[in-house]
Amino acid sequence: MSEINVKSLIVESATKYFSKFGFHKTTMDDIAKHIHKAKGVLYYYFKGKEELFNEVLKQELNTVKIALKEIVASDKDSLITLKEYMLTRLKLLNTAVNYHETLEADFFGKYLFVKDVREDFEEFERKQLTIILEKGKKEGFIDVKNINSTVNIIMMVVNGIEIPLFLQNKYKEYENTIDELSSMIVNSLRTQKK
Amino acid sequence: MSEINVKSLIVESATKYFSKFGFHKTTMDDIAKHIHKAKGVLYYYFKGKEELFNEVLKQELNTVKIALKEIVASDKDSLITLKEYMLTRLKLLNTAVNYHETLEADFFGKYLFVKDVREDFEEFERKQLTIILEKGKKEGFIDVKNINSTVNIIMMVVNGIEIPLFLQNKYKEYENTIDELSSMIVNSLRTQKK
DNA sequence: ATACTGACTAAAATACGGATTTAGTCAATA
DNA sequence: TATTGACTAAATCCGTATTTTAGTCAGTAT
């Protein structure tokens, strides 16, 4: 029975509950009962509920990270890569319900304990975008004076639309618009033929 | 005393209070006392608190509308007009505190009574952007296949960044990024020289 | 030492009743 | 038509009692 890692069982169960009911409506007892253990064992593996949630969130974002890394690593035209990156990012995050819950962290004082994981993800994204833009610049497809500032803009746009998209469930409705928005941004970076 | 329009006195006073304390922290009595009238008189001119707030919000947005109309009516290059439109829009809305309060309308069930005014403003903006793009298309500066769809994108972007900008007071911090974002969007619409 | 239990505690969330505030009404008045 | 101010009903506030739940820990088993 304990040949299977209990810690990962806990995370698995926690993922189910947090995803379905959210952080507040999930109790540590729910999770413990679900894996037929006493509640105390959760505190053997995790400092507390917040740390456990962070772990779940981290794993959720990790699958997104992996997919995005793959896109960035591809040897396609960097303009295509950028568009794919944006579309995939939004598509995958659209199903990341625990991430959705933490969106409130930015706008209220809520979910402050999730700051580290969110910042880590943001840093990751900045890095990937920088890689894409640098590659594009080197190859001559992309023309930007200041890469860092361009990254800021893209981050601002993709972060900005998250709330209407995810918290108001408008993703499907706006899918087309998102696609065209991505194209638009990519176009504005395309090296002009003079 | 009543040669001056009492209705506008009420709105003036209401504007002060709503702007300073917000909708919930302002009482009808506050407003009435401030103009040395009995509370009942407010209900002679307005159906209730919500209608009064709507009137205040309407006027607040109206000054923005007027400024934006002026920009759209100018005979500058339509690409410049578009950029000016976006920057002015954000700059003016940044100080529209009652509008800020209604931003929550979108993301919670709160402030539903403000729906009409918000929708009216959105319609106004779509109209202005359409005018700019059509003019640009006619003059050959702007190259878009579908104007309506481009309007959607621009609306999505400018609406999207409102929350971080206004509710988190990041306007000053992001002023540069906003400027570059506007340039970027404008650039993506610029007719390519082939 | 490692993994786990389950009773225990303290803190947070919830429920509730009573007091207070406040939105909205209306008959009277000028 | 414009305004008053007392009145009502609804919402908010507030303290408190109750319940739920996060987190602890001494003890058990392996």
Closest CA to B148 of B173, B167, B131: B131
Give the tokens for residue A91: 């598509």
Minimal CA separation from B72 to chain A, in Å: 22
- Greatest Cα-to-Cα distance within chain A, rounded to the nearest angstrom: 70
In this predicted structure, the answer to whether residue A2 has a pLDDT above a threshold of 60 is no
Say if the Cβ atoms of A188 and B185 lie within 8 Å: yes
Position B1 pLDDT exceeds 50? no
DSSP string, A156-189: HHHHHTHIIIIITT-HHHHHHHHHHHHHHHHHHH
Share of chain A above pLDDT 70, in %: 97
Q: pLDDT tens for residues A92-143?
A: 999 999 999 999 887 777 899 999 999 999 999 999 999 999 999 999 999 8
Q: Which residues contact B186 (CB under 8 A, 6 or more apart)?
A: B79, B82, B83
Residue in A closest to B187 by C-alpha? A188
d(CA B173, CA A122): 18
Report the residue of chain B nearest A176, measured CA to CA: B149
pLDDT at A3: 47
The model's pTM:
0.92
Q: Between chains, do A193 and B192 touch, taking CB under 8 Å as contact?
A: yes
Q: Provide, as residue numbers in chain B, all residues whose Cβ is less than 8 Å from the Cβ of A164.
A: 106, 156, 159-160
Confidence of residue B3 (pLDDT cuts 50, 70, 90): very low
Predicted local confidence at residue B104, as pLDDT: 83
User: Chain A contacts of B187, Cβ < 8 Å?
Assistant: 187-188
pLDDT at position B60 over 90: yes
Polymer length of chain B? 194
Q: What's the Å distance between residue A111 CA and nucleotide D15 C1'?
A: 29
Cα–Cα distance between A178 and A166 in angstroms, integer?
Answer: 13
Alpha-carbon span B95 to B101, nearest angstrom? 11
pLDDT value for A108 = 76
Give the relative orientation of helices B171-189 and A147-160 as an angle to the nearest 10 degrees: 100
Rounded-to-integer distance, Cα B82 and Cα B102, Å: 25
**What confidence tens digit (pLDDT) does each residue in B99-118 have?**
999 998 777 778 999 999 99
pLDDT tier for residue A191 given thresholds of 50, 70 and 90: confident
Region B139-157 average pLDDT: 94
